[in-house]
Structure 1
């Protein structure tokens, strides 16, 4: 099988599995970089040793563990599903990832952030991200028909998976005000668009830039990102008593372990009492203090 035929077969295998367009782009892009590293040698002549060398090169180049694991997954798929090879995974292990705790905005900081936004479109975007727990790519591709005001929920499609999340009354009123002033008319129904270009939806970069601009105006730390609002959505729901399983569905997580990460961010420990403090008090002899004299 030639390298060109591998590309065609890889696309077919990804399509058969119903993987997202983003996955197609990621896997085929990683395949291109792998072949380029070895001067486009026939991929059928390569195996675990070449994959190891390539992954080590990526680490030496400063790539993060998460990025290197994506390279690893892509190449495992190409060699396994496309070429039908049984690789020795002991030789190409996935790299252990350390996930640091992200910065979280307090509710007072969120109020301050929203109060400094003087642009109706930007305010509608960021209140929707926080109010519904959306990813930046999800709010960028939010459509008018995704807003269900009757059932007070928002339809979200991401990575080939669909879910419903919350639509708050405040969010609905703001979106209606935005609709009234901007009258979005994209042929596919997309809600947010670039200034003066109604047929061009907002890019994630433009949304991120707007977020940092408003954070700066509010004198908030530059460590906050748009995704911080999604973290805050989950953390504040957890602190208000929402079940982890419910939050998992709203966020669109596949595994409950991913959602359980927010247990480390919430202040629910303040509501938990040590069992030592719950023991019934019983009178007894006072403990004597031993003297060294």
Structure 2
């Protein structure tokens, strides 16, 4: 339960995210849940009359401490703090508060964990599994496209037929912040897409009346495929390939970046292809590549290890 002042502020904030910021549905859902959780925390400790203007920095600190006691991940806590900062910036602009209690707070420092990725042999094994049924043709082109372009799964399911230029081998995607970029697909992804468009999508589209006219990827009922649907199909193929668990569509994005850098691609080119605003976000893949090179060196060089005895 949240107070009236918080409810009014939140609804205005959501309209702001949808309209001016044009935030993604995932971001809006996450921010709404984060603000509602904080508002409930305030309601239970300050009473129903407490609104955003009654919150001070100490109360936000208590909220973060409470999340820590619940065992929440540091990444989750940082996201909630980011949501509060954005919420209070909006309220400041609207004149609803005089200051932001979250502006100067630093979130918990996250441990730097290298992203998971597959070897090229494992990727090849995964891509070879989908059958030649309509759904299998869809799934193969989907996995090939994720690996060939490094796009996010949300960008994949947002692709429309008009976004493809298979003759040139490119796709136009709409990324975070509604930033548009063009990504190359590669010959094998183009071939898989041609097969899907010729022998898979028409049959899936016929299962819906009227048929879906714009979306590239369709589900088994002929509607637009969802992020959850992609994850479920990938989990199916990961299990059939006998690969270790914990592989997600984002893992293929990591594979794309890591394999590109391992084969000599320029970091700024990879940054552009991934749609990263800051180069520092892309630089984690250089650490990943160096770790992999070190591992190969230790295994392959005859004098890399200490002799036993």
> If the length of structure 1 is used for normalisation, what is the TM-score?
0.83
* Corresponding residue for residue 233 of structure 2: 210
Pick from 190, 195, 219 the counterpart of residue 194 of structure 1. 219
1:28 corresponds to 2:46: no
Matched ranges for 1:96-135 at <5 A: 96-118=109-131, 119-135=136-152
Query: What is the rounded CA distance, in whole Å, between the counterparts of 2:217 and 2:34 in structure 1?
Result: 31
* Corresponding residue for residue 37 of structure 1: 41
Pick from 231, 235, 239 the counterpart of residue 258 of structure 2. 235
Q: CA 1:122/1:16 → structure 2, altered by over 3 Å: closer, same or farther?
A: closer
Q: CA 1:180/1:250 → structure 2, altered by over 3 Å: closer, same or farther?
A: same
* Corresponding residue for residue 278 of structure 2: 255
Q: Is the 8 A contact 2:56 2:101 kept in 1?
A: no
SS in 1 for 2:215: coil
Larger proportion of helix:
2
* Corresponding residue for residue 46 of structure 1: 55
* Corresponding residue for residue 304 of structure 2: none
1:12 Cα shift?
A: 5.0
1:72 Cα shift?
A: 0.7
* Corresponding residue for residue 164 of structure 2: 147
Runs of 5+ unmatched residues, structure 2: 206-210, 298-309
What RMSD, in angstroms, separates the aligned Cα atoms of the two structures? 2.4
* Corresponding residue for residue 208 of structure 2: none
Task: Give the number of aligned pairs.
Answer: 269
Q: Is the 8 A contact 1:142 1:156 kept in 2?
A: yes
Runs of 5+ unmatched residues, structure 1: 274-293
Q: Is the 8 A contact 2:55 2:101 kept in 1?
A: no
Query: What is the rounded CA distance, in whole Å, between the counterparts of 2:12 and 2:270 in structure 1?
Result: 38
1:138-186 deviation line (CA, Å, top 9, x unaligned) = 2122211111124321111022221111111221111111011122655
1:224 Cα shift?
A: 2.2
Which protein has the larger Cα radius of gyration, Structure 1 or Structure 2? 1
* Corresponding residue for residue 6 of structure 1: 9
1:185-230 deviation line (CA, Å, top 9, x unaligned) = 55451111211x11x2222222112112211111111132221111
1:109 Cα shift?
A: 1.1
Q: Is the 8 A contact 1:52 1:91 kept in 2?
A: no
1:99 Cα shift?
A: 2.8
* Corresponding residue for residue 249 of structure 2: 226
SS in 2 for 1:116: coil
Pick from 96, 99, 115 the counterpart of residue 86 of structure 1. 99
Q: CA 1:188/1:80 → structure 2, altered by over 3 Å: closer, same or farther?
A: same
